[in-house]
Structure 1
Amino acid sequence: MGCTVTVCRDCCCGSRSKHPTVDHDAQLSALRATLEPGHRVRTSLCLDVCAQSNVVVVQPAPEARRAGARPVWFGLVLDDAVLTDLTTWVHAGGPGVAPVPPILELSVITPPPAS
């Protein structure tokens, strides 16, 4: 199995009232169509970084995780260009395997402190 991509879909992420010009369902469908079955795409309740919605977390593939790779958090994933850059990076191996492309670095955010 490859990476696991977690898409926040709760109070702010995926909200038409907060992001009325984003087709949130199409965004999730595009991730699934592009990444599955080689990678897992799942949704999550609030990830506690609402100011950065829409949030997507890419967890490394198991081998990369065992080698020390850590999840990478992305915020403001609101347009197709960011989504395409993200899926291209995941197909290249994602965290611990492929460096985050400079254009995608602009979307990297700090995860909330562990509780």
Structure 2
Amino acid sequence: MPARQARKSSGTAGSHDTATGPAPCRVVVCRDCCCGTPKVTGVDHAAQTARLRAEAPVRVSACLDVCDQANVIVVQPSAEGRAAGARPVWLGLVNDADATEDIVAWVRAGGPGVAPRPEILDLYAFTPPRRRAVS
């Protein structure tokens, strides 16, 4: 049976070749009712998403139900980070380019479980409320 060929990266911004290494950390960006809308003024939401996408795989999510924390970004650990016991890190009120750059630097360094979270991001980190099970 022939060996599978690794998928090649297209080399475009936001494409991340995981065929040559372990899965990188991923970023979830809430962009629904509050996050990513004019309700949060003074933020170039498209530029923020594009900047994150240039460094890591990004998934744009519907409402994450923490609208009081808009704009919300969740940094999910890489395979290495998960193996080290890391959990996703929720960051709220990410409404300026400097905060976005701090997230980019952390993701580039390896993210949760691999690189220490920059102290400045402690100001943005929060614990999301638990969702109730549907009865």
Answer yes or no: same fold by TM over 0.5. Answer: yes
SS at match of 2:51: helix
Quote the residue 1:27 is aligned against: 48
When the two chains are superposed, the root-mean-square deviation of aligned CA atoms in Å is 1.1
Structure 1: which 4+ aligned runs deviate by more than 6 Å?
A: none
Report the Cα offset of residue 40 of structure 1: 1.1
Give the gaps of 5 or more residues in structure 2.
Answer: 1-22
Quote the residue 2:35 is aligned against: 13
Matches within 5 A, 1:1-115: 1-16=23-38, 18-33=39-54, 35=55, 39-115=56-132
Quote the residue 2:16 is aligned against: none
SS at match of 2:64: coil
Q: One-letter code of the match for 1:2?
A: P
Identity among equivalent pairs (%): 59
Higher helix share: 1
Report the Cα offset of residue 11 of structure 1: 0.4
Report the Cα offset of residue 21 of structure 1: 1.3
Report the Cα offset of residue 20 of structure 1: 2.4
* Larger RCO (CA under 8 A, 6+ residues apart): 1
SS at match of 1:31: helix
CA distance in 2 between counterparts of 1:95 and 1:106 reads: 16
CA distance in 1 between counterparts of 2:67 and 2:30 reads: 10
Report the Cα offset of residue 66 of structure 1: 2.5
Larger Rg: 2
